[in-house]
Amino acid sequence: MAKYLIVGGVAGGATTAARLRRMDESAEIIMFERGEHISYANCGLPYYVGDVITERENLLLQTPESFNKRLNVDVRILNEVTKINREQKEVEVKDLKNNTVYTETYDKLIVSPGAEPIKPPIPSINDSAIFTVRNVKDTDKIKSYYNEHKPQKAVVVGAGFIGLEMAENLHHLGMMVTIVEMAEQVMTPLDYEMAAVVHQHLKTKNVEFFLKDGVSEFERKGDYLEIRLQSGRKIEADMVILSIGVRPETKLIKEAGIDLAPNGGIQVNKYLQTSDEHIYALGDAIAFPHPITGNYTNAYLAGPANKQGRLLANNLVLGHKYEYKGAIATAIAKVFDLTVGSTGLAEKVLKKKGIKYISNITHGGSHAGYYPGATPTSIKLMFHPETGKLYGAQVLGYEGVDKRTDLIATVLQNNGTIYDLQEIEHAYAPPYSSAKDPVNQAGFTAGNIIEGLVKIMHWDELYQLHAPNNFILDVRTPDEYELGKIEGSVNIEVDQIRNRLDEIPKDKKIIIYCGVGLRGYFAARILMQKGYSEVYNLSGGYKTYEHATC
């Protein structure tokens, strides 16, 4: 009879325990959780704070009792595993209720301790109105503070997914919310021009934000906190959410002398085995080679943790049969009415890693334009300049962002190319898509670039372009042109290009733009075949340019 000890009773731990039990009814399975709750919906916590999820018990997918009843797992909450004695194959456990310590032996030890919110040593960081959000207890604290103090003004420090979800939810409670973020943008998985759309959306919701600025100090002033920023700015707040990132919980593993990866995560092989053959690890805490870069990376995501748990349980019972392939970091977040998805690598990461790539932005509609209710959907694709192998994508919109992100992620995960995107035979009826889905269109457009049918220019390249030897050609209608244009551009509607070629100089670099890139591409095709040699189409058109430069 195999004996499994599991450290951590939430996404990775509980899933491993559950599948282990289904695979082996007779195994001894003990699951240690230092907190009070197991199997809670971490991802639901911001929405519970915001009263979108109204029932606390809905967060608790299992209780120790229900988990034991259904799966016959010995669940020990308020039990912290404090040490691993690898020689003896045993762990030391601190019972936090009774303040006692005991040991437990294992055949295999499974560690899914997660990651903890980073709390830098800023003055007054431990003030009782400053919160982090990791578990149910944290939200209990926030909710009781809220009920007691009725805070009006909140500051969210750090504008990652969790920070923005918290901002939305505090806003939903009626608070004035200010975001402070060190980077020049919110949501680091996005590239700047995509994040710029989020910035504008936040503005429409009256959420204030300060970018390229960090907190240097908190100071309690009676019933409010003063937050001093590195720029010198001071903000007042009744409460603060700290969401500047997480750090893998590796203390236990490190102290046991088990290898960590260069990035600080627990290093595992493709069977999720650590450098100790009897100890396995999964979830937020592990570092695994990224499928594209090969670099050890952590994926702070529930999907991978859950899938790893199932795979690991299979391998524990059946031998090392299934290989984990790594996560490409597919993520999504609701930011008020906007949905933001991403998968794979951002342009800025590719740049930093020196990986050759092309990026391109297309804008389409969530479904057929002639059917009511279609909303804009923007896709940024990163791919290899010759083979079209997909590297990453970012998707923005109001509806169907999840499906486009999923589709691209699935192709990317399977080492697919932009040609695979072209061929996707999606389900089409007018309420759901167009005969060519925006994902197909992104693939077509990328293909045209690779095959030399069109050259593109990016908003920042055009923005920085001062050379006199350029002709910026706006091919939208005169009405559109009047409403807003790029400085120095000349307007010739796409439908008139063929008749007005004499107005377009042959000896200059021609940069064409339209609303989103489509008409610009059509115009570029005409000029390129009419003997113009240096023709560029603005990627993402005026829409992206305007978002990114405004």
Residues 402, 339: Cα–Cα separation, whole Å: 8
| Amino acid residing at 7 | V
Partner that binds at residue 518, options ligand COA, its own copies, ligand FAD, none, CB closer than 5 to 8 Å by kind: ligand COA
Using CB under 8 A as the criterion, what x/- string covers residues 496-525 for binding its own copies? --x----------------------xx--x
Q: Does 406 bind its own copies (CB under 8 A)?
A: yes
Nearest to 475 by CA among 530, 445, 444, 517: 517
Q: From the list its own copies, ligand FAD, ligand COA, none, which binds 103 (C-beta under 5 to 8 Å, kind-based)?
A: none
Among 257, 303, 484, 505, binds its own copies (CB under 8 A): 303
The interface with its own copies within residues 229-268 (CB under 8 A) comprises none
Q: Point out which residues pair with 178 in neighbouring strands.
A: 155, 208
CB-based contact 521:455 (threshold 8 Å): no
Q: Decide which of ligand FAD, its own copies, ligand COA, none touches 238; Cβ closer than 5 to 8 Å per partner kind.
A: none
- Helix, strand or coil for residue 323? coil
Q: How many residues does the chain have?
A: 550
- Residue 498's alpha-carbon distances to 464, 494, 522, 529, in angstroms, are 29, 8, 11, 11
Q: Choosing from 43, 78, 122, 453, which is the catalytic residue?
A: 43
Q: Is 440 in the site for its own copies (CB under 8 A)?
A: yes
Contact of residue 327 among ligand COA, ligand FAD, its own copies, none (CB under 5-8 Å per partner type)? its own copies
Q: Which of 429, 435, 467, 550 binds ligand COA (CB under 6 A)?
A: 435
Q: Which stretch binds its own copies (CB under 8 A): 31-39, 186-194, 251-259, 422-430?
A: 422-430
Given ligand FAD, ligand COA, its own copies, none, residue 252, with its beta carbon under 5 to 8 Å by kind, binds: ligand FAD
303: enclosing H helix or E strand: helix 302-318
Q: Helices 64-71 and 11-23: crossing angle, nearest 10°?
A: 20
Q: How far is the CB of 366 from its own copies (least distance, A)?
A: 10
CB under 5 to 8 A by kind: which of its own copies, ligand FAD, ligand COA, none does 133 bind? Answer: ligand FAD
62 binds, among ligand COA, ligand FAD, its own copies, none (CB under 5 to 8 A by kind): ligand COA
33 binds, among ligand COA, its own copies, ligand FAD, none (CB under 5 to 8 A by kind): ligand FAD
CB of 162 to ligand COA, least distance (A): 12
104 is a site residue for ligand FAD (CB under 6 A): no
- Residue from 223, 425, 479, 507 binding its own copies (CB under 8 A): 425
Measure CA of the first residue to CA of the last residue in the chain; give whole Å. 66
Give min distance, CB of 435 to ligand COA, in A.
Answer: 4
- β-pairing, 535-538 with 509-513? parallel
Q: Total residues at the site for its own copies (CB under 8 A)?
A: 86
Taking the least distance from each CB to ligand FAD, the nearer of 61 and 490 is: 61
Instruction: Give the shortest CB-415-to-its own copies separation in angstroms.
Output: 11
Is residue 305 involved in binding its own copies (CB under 8 A)? yes
Stretch near ligand COA under the rule CB under 6 A, chosen from 16-24, 237-245, 328-336, 502-510: 16-24
DSSP state of 281: E
CB crowding 447-477: b at 16 or more within 10 Å, else e: bbbbeeebebbbbeebeebeeeebbbbbbbb
Cβ atoms 328, 343 nearer than 8 A: yes
Instruction: Kindly state the DSSP code that residue 435 receives in the 8-state scheme.
Output: S
Stretch that binds ligand FAD, among 5-13, 385-393, 519-527, 536-544 (CB under 6 A): 5-13
Q: Does the annotation count 43 as an active-site position?
A: yes
Residue 112's binding partner, choosing from ligand FAD, its own copies, ligand COA, none, with beta-carbon cut-off 5 to 8 A by kind?
ligand FAD
Kindly state the smallest distance separating residue 504's Cβ from ligand FAD, in Å: 35
Of the residues 123, 257, 294, 369, which one makes contact with its own copies according to CB under 8 A? 369
Phi, psi angle pair for 409, to nearest 5°? -60, -40
* Binding residues among 224-243 for ligand COA as defined by CB under 6 A: none
Nearest C-alpha neighbor of 172 from the set 51, 296, 7, 40: 51
**By CB under 6 A, residue 429 contacts ligand FAD:** yes
**Strand order across the beta sheet in which 455-457 lies:** 455-457, 535-538, 509-513, 470-474, 490-491
Contact stretch for ligand COA (CB under 6 A) within 10-18, 50-58, 149-157, 255-263: 10-18
Q: What is the DSSP string of 23-84?
A: H-TT-EEEEEESSS-SSB-GGGHHHHHTTSS--GGGGBS--HHHHHHHH--EEEETEEEEEE
14 near ligand COA, rule: CB under 6 A: yes
The total of other beta-carbon atoms located within 10 Å of residue 146's CB is 18
- How many angstroms separate the CA atoms of 220 and 225, rounded? 4
Q: Which residues of 148-173 are buried (b: 16+ CB within 10 A; e: fewer)?
A: eeebebbbbbbbbbbbbbbbbbbbbb
Give the burial class of 90: count Cβ atoms within 10 A of its Cβ; 0-12 exposed, 13-18 middle, 19 or more buried: middle
Residue 308 engages its own copies in binding (rule: CB under 8 A):
no
In the complex, minimum distance from the CB of residue 409 to ligand FAD, in angstroms, rounded to a whole number: 12
User: To the nearest whole angstrom, how small is the minimum distance from the Cβ of residue 243 to ligand COA?
Assistant: 16
The one-character DSSP state at 496 is G
Q: Cα separation of 28 and 351, whole Å? A: 49
Catalytic positions are 43
Query: Which residues here bind ligand COA, judged by CB under 6 A?
Result: 10-11, 14-15, 18-19, 22, 39, 41-44, 61-62, 302, 306, 310, 362-363, 435-436, 441, 444-445, 448, 516-518, 521
Query: Which residues here bind ligand FAD, judged by CB under 6 A?
Result: 7-8, 10-13, 32-35, 42-43, 45-46, 80-81, 112-114, 133-135, 162, 249, 252, 283-285, 300-303, 305, 428-429
